[in-house]
Amino acid sequence: MKEIYFDQLQETLYSETLENGLQVYILPKKGFNKTYATFTTKYGSVDNHFTPLGASEPVKVPDGIAHFLEHKLFEKEDRDVFQDFSKQGASANAFTSFTRTAYLFSSTTNVQQNLETLMDFVQAPYFTEETVEKEKGIIGQEIEMYDDNPDWRVYFGVIENMFHHHPVKIDIAGTVSSISDITKDDLYTCYETFYHPSNMLLFVVGNIDPPEIMKFIKSNQSAKEFEPPSKIERYFDNEPPEVAKKKSVIKMTVQTPKCMVGYKQASPGRFGDERLKYELGMNLLLDYLFGQSSTNYESLYSEGLIDQSFSFDYTEETDFGFSLLGGDTTDPDLLAERITEMIEAEKTKGIDSSAIDRLKKKKIGSFLRSMNSPEYIANQFTRFQFGDMNLFNVVEMYDKITIKDLENILLEHFNPKAFTSCQVRPKKA
């Protein structure tokens, strides 16, 4: 078992890669009542075109299948796994993103038992045609709930505008129509390909004894049999750097219009420290350009174009990346125009290093604060690890980012050809 002490954070992280390929990480948190564990596979909504385990030809599977699979894993022949957790005093949940599916529980008692339930249910699929059919009603309502949510619609709208082919443009849950095609055999195909331990990571954080927990996990895993690990082949069509669509408008039953703009990343594919530096640099830059202490934010707020719902974010995964900015606004067209104007103006201004020093302090402090949250640590650590990055190197990496790095990002990422906007407008009353 490896042991790394992070001096400034005063945390020790324990880890080991098991014989079956599973990566296990344990972070003890003294004084906490709660233990939180996530069991995550590197498989999300974008993985819809791949060569199934043991097959030679690639397949394309229906949209929304990773999320559907997430729902169905909780159901077993004789019972529902939610019940097992709740009998053991744990609350369980799961989520699916573009690139990951995570199963989790949190509890203050019966930690080993809950951990066993978590590992066992994820590693023992049980699907029948009948239960697959029944789930379509529930997921159908989940999809319709999101369809009525203007924030979700504008978020997905802008991503849809960006991409010509990449499946990141498809809603994570799919559509009522696409999920109607899903069969139990499809689910098994995806399960067997993507739920191999070598494609997964288990993170446990809480008031626990690391050697004891590690021993327990190992004995659980060594009692199960798995195929030898093999590389998963995923296919993505070539994606041009330009956006597919410059603008789109969605009409909904809302009172306040919304506007989200974005820039598509022309050159994703960074890994390890390179991605960490780029990602942190981008977040620093976005904060510098449009954070609450920026003159741009102050202007937009004073002009009445934004309110507290205004936010920004950068996402980068293996094959795609984008920055997004926006929120509620009285005038979506004007907001989009003002944002692009401001970005173009910044390109010629040069970056103010005292502001960056201040923002670095902010980022370091925020990171420290997030260390209070077991949920944040487990979820973010996993995301970072899947990109060969280490969450605990964040503070150190901020120190290494220079003004030159930020200027490069500013010129490279915010290319007018990579720009698109989506707006939600009220239907006439």
Partner 1 sequence: MTKTKAPRVIPFDGYTLHLIETEKYKTTTFSIQIKRKIEEKDVTKRALLSQVLKAGTKSYPSSLHIHRLLEEMYGAGFVTSVGKKGEYQIITIRMDVSNEKFLLDQTPLLEQSLSFLAEVLLHPLNDGNKFEESNVNKEKRVLKQKIQSIYDDKMRFANKRLIEEMFKGNRYALHAFGNEEEVDSITSEELFAYYQDVIEHDEIDIYVVGDIDGDRVMETFESKFPLSTRNHDHNPSVPPLNRKEKEKVIYDEQDVKQGKLHMGYRTSITFSDPEYFAVQVFNGIFGGFSHSKLFINVREKASLAYYAVSRIESHVGAIFVMSGIEFKNYDQAVSIIREQMDKMKNGDISVGELEQTKEMLRNQILESVDNPNSWVDLLYNSKMSGVERSIDDWLEGIQAVTMEDVIDAAATISLDTIYFLKGEGQE
CB atoms within 10 A of CB 282: 23
Measured from the CB of residue 419, what is the shortest distance to partner 1 in angstroms?
25
Measured from the CB of residue 66, what is the shortest distance to partner 1 in angstroms?
17
Measured from the CB of residue 173, what is the shortest distance to partner 1 in angstroms?
10
- Please return the burial class of 92, using the count of CB atoms within 10 Å of its CB with bins 0-12, 13-18 and 19+: buried
Give the nearer residue to partner 1 in terms of CB position, either 121 or 419. 121
Give the nearer residue to partner 1 in terms of CB position, either 10 or 238. 10
Q: Of the residues 70, 239, 279, 346, which is catalytic?
A: 70
Give the nearer residue to partner 1 in terms of CB position, either 3 or 303. 303
CA distance 414 to 339: 11
CB of 343 closer than 8 Å to CB of 407: no
Which residues contact partner 1 by CB under 8 A? 8-10, 30-34, 80, 82-83, 86-92, 106-109, 134-139, 141-142, 144-145, 147-150, 253-256, 291-293, 295, 297-298, 301-302, 304, 307-309, 328, 330, 358-359, 361-366, 368-369, 371-374, 427
Catalytic status, residue 233 = no
Residue-wise DSSP of 375-393: HHHHHHHHHHHHTT--GGG
Q: Which residues pair with 158 in a beta bridge?
A: none
CB of 16 closer than 8 Å to CB of 2: yes
**Distance spanning both ends of the chain, measured CA to CA:** 64
Measured from the CB of residue 79, what is the shortest distance to partner 1 in angstroms?
11
Tokens of 97: 């993103």
Give the nearer residue to partner 1 in terms of CB position, either 82 or 226. 82
Measured from the CB of residue 104, what is the shortest distance to partner 1 in angstroms?
13
CA distance 3 to 25: 10
Assign 143 to helix, strand or coil.
helix
Give the nearer residue to partner 1 in terms of CB position, either 302 or 348. 302
CB of 172 closer than 8 Å to CB of 97: yes
CA distance 409 to 311: 19
Give the nearer residue to partner 1 in terms of CB position, either 17 or 180. 180
Give the nearer residue to partner 1 in terms of CB position, either 33 or 180. 33
b/e per residue 170-188 (b: at least 16 CB within 10 A) = bbbbbeeebbeebebebbe
Measured from the CB of residue 293, what is the shortest distance to partner 1 in angstroms?
4
Residue-wise DSSP of 42-106: S--TT--EEPPTT-SS-EE--TTHHHHHHHHTTB-SS-BHHHHHHHTTEEEEEEE-SS-EEEEEE
Measured from the CB of residue 62, what is the shortest distance to partner 1 in angstroms?
19
CA dihedral 138, 154, 63, 21 (to 10 degrees): -90
Residues known to be catalytic: 70
